[in-house]
Amino acid sequence: MANKLIIVESPAKVHTIKKFLGSGYDVVASAGHIRDLPKSRLGVDTANNFEPEYITIRGKGEIMAELKKAVKKADRIYLATDPDREGEAISWHLMKGLKLPESGKEIYRIKFNEITKNAVREAIKNPTVLNENLVNAQQARRVMDRVVGYELSPILWKKVKGKLSAGRVQSAVLRLICDRESEISAFVPQEYWTVEAVLKTADGAKITTEYFGEGEKKHLPGNAEEAHGVEEAVLGKDFRMTEKKEQTRRKAAPYPFTTSTLQQDAANKLNFSTSKTMRLAQQLYEGVKIPGHGTIGLITYLRTDSTRVAAEADALCKAWVRENYGQDYVGSGAVRNSDLSQDAHEAIRPTDMNLNPETVKNDLPRDLYRLYNLIYRRFAASRMKAAVYESVSARFECAGKIFTAGSARLAFPGYLLAYDSDEEKVRKDKGLEGLKEGDTLGLLETKSQQHFTQPPAHFTEATLVREMEELGLGRPSTYAPTIANILGKHYIVKEGRNIFVTELGEVVNSLMLKSFPDIVNLGFTADMERKLDEVEEGKEDWHQVMNDFYPAFSEEIQRAEKELEKVRVEDEKTDVICENCGRNMVIKYGRNGRFLACPGFPECRNTMPLLERTGLKCPKCGKEIIVRRTKKGRRYYGCEGAPECDYMSWTRPKDEEKAKQPSA
């Protein structure tokens, strides 16, 4: 009979850890939190120092019973929940819910950053106790988010519409997106022109130069007249090289992934949403079955903002680089200064460099492989030397006009062999190499082109995560849930990769700005996040943080209930006519996204799919091509006349519709 019990969070870890430890141990899972605040009421006594009321989560009764049975059989109990704030809180709730201190058993807390045999066994050899500061930090966030959400959301229900929500982080992030939309809307494009001069060297090489201005300060023509004036001034004249600079530039190797940078790169390189990235990373962490290895965790813990790497993993990775690329490519593996503390979490990395992505490719689903490959390559690159570029820049003068040209070549690829980037690798204008200051070049031709300044770019999930991290809005574990939440509430929508604010999102943000300026104040939200971090460090009492925050917030709630007028958000009308009753259909939001519905509900219950039109004609039958989705959500282009017409394409057809018919 096992006399040592290990309690983990996820059932997916149970088999793996049991295999590592053998018959002397029993391993059971809590399946996440076993206790939480009640859903039906606030559950926080605001008049009694914000004492939380925890109850067993509905549906967890059977799990609790199994845990209690396992506890009775054990002499020693190890709480092995995740190595972060949330994991510490789950262990604390297990202590309270199972009454472990009163059981007379030996109780220990163990943490492992990766689910491997060595890591688990080492954790058991070196058990610790619960970190009360981490527990208090989680309680502080949970209580504050509950108070803000449960007292703010009813205001939105009364003044706007039901099923809306507001929150400490989500409302600040919504404001961030709305502010960007306002910048884009208010942007006034400015005209400017570029002028190129193609020069010919003495040996016949061509060099393309760009107009810089007439002095040391860059000035581009603001209209066609100015641009043509520059062209006329240099027409038929020679150009003289007045300056030439050669320099070496180093592009440092990237740090290994943090939660934020993993989400950003997975969005940019793999087109994964933040929630998908975290879901797949969780699978890689908890364990995947690999022939010859059994079930093993392929990456370290996925919620971290540290770039620190354990000394053993650092050495093994450098050995891998040496073996695969040679000693000349082995780098120092630097970390950020803020990560030098040895008690910080590690970065996200592979648990075993011998498990090359290509060797496990056939054992992983496609997207799981792609994410693992990204993490593996990024970690390898972080232990390699910088890429080195040799660049040449030159200035040319003609009739008082200054033109510039430049070129660069990759002299040493460094980390780029493992983790490619968008860096320029091919030299342009090789003719610059043979030139020297004072050389004269002839003019072959000039070209001028009109441009307009562009507004700020819409946020994508990747750029939004980066902005949230830079501004201190939320923490690594909250980025993906926050974005998923405001998407789910239809405050924002995604079109392609870009994020757009809906009318509902604008109304909610406007109400929040008017009545709860602190909640949507980015600086206030970031400052509150820092205070909550100080609770984790033992520098702040979480009750005092709440006592400092709540009085002013409560006053704003009471004032909003009295003063705010009801805002009606009309459904967006379309030109599509309901075939049953003749009304104009409106756009509604459902579990699977937007759809058309009759505004006559409940008298008329007609609904239709919302078609995304392209304006392109089907090459088979002439009807319009529309954007459709597979059952798994993948976009494709199909004929409006389906199923009678079977035309489809995974890529957008060409405007002239003469493209070769793609196969389905």
Give the burial class of 24: count Cβ atoms within 10 A of its Cβ; 0-12 exposed, 13-18 middle, 19 or more buried: exposed
Coil/strand/helix, residue 404: strand
CB 582 within 8 A of CB 589: no
Check if 589 is active-site.
no
Report the interhelical angle of 503-515 vs 170-186 (nearest 10°). Answer: 110
**Contact call for residues 101 and 79 (beta carbons, < 8 A):** no
Q: Residue 222 is encoded by which pair of tokens?
A: 């603001």
Tokens of 32: 């996440």
The owner of tokens 């660069």 is 408
Q: Residue 604's closest CA among 580, 572, 587?
A: 580
Structure tokens at 524: 């206030």
Residues facing residue 462 across a β-bridge: none
Question: What single DSSP character describes residue 213?
Answer: E
**Angle subtended at Cα 623 by Cα 621 and Cα 625, rounded to the nearest 5 degrees:** 110
**Long-range pairs of 561-564 with CB within 8 A, sequence gap ≥ 24:** 561/155, 561/158, 563/515, 564/155, 564/159, 564/511, 564/514, 564/515
By C-alpha distance, which of 182, 176, 91 is closest to 130? 91
CA–CA separation, 460 and 264 (whole Å): 9
- Report the Cα 627 to chain-centroid distance in Å: 26
Distance CA 119, CA 643 (A): 56
Q: List the beta bridge partners of residue 239.
A: 441
Q: Distance between CA atoms of 302 and 271, rounded to whole angstroms?
A: 19
Closest CA to 369 of 383, 356, 382: 356
Burial class (CB in 10 A: 0-12, 13-18, 19+), 395: middle
Pairwise CA distance, residues 541 & 529, whole Å? 14
* Cβ neighbourhood burial of 600 (10 Å; 0-12, 13-18, 19+): middle
CA-to-CA distance for 256 and 308, rounded, in angstroms? 8
Question: Inter-axis angle of helices 132-159 and 503-515, to 10 degrees?
Answer: 110
Of 180, 174, 175, 169, nearest in space to 459 by CA: 180
For 336, the token pair is 């950020």
108: β partners: 78
496-502 CB contacts, 8 Å cutoff, 24+ apart: 497/267, 497/271, 497/460, 497/461, 497/462, 498/457, 498/458, 498/459, 498/460, 499/177, 499/458, 499/459, 499/460, 499/461, 499/464, 500/181, 500/458, 501/174, 501/177, 501/178, 501/181
Q: Can you give the three-state secondary structure of 43-75, one letter per residue?
A: CEECCCCCEECCEECCCCHHHHHHHHHHHHHCC
CB 506 within 8 A of CB 520: no
DSSP single-letter state for residue 173: H
Candidate list 255, 301, 325, 389, residue with the active-site label = 301
Catalytic residue positions, numbered = 301
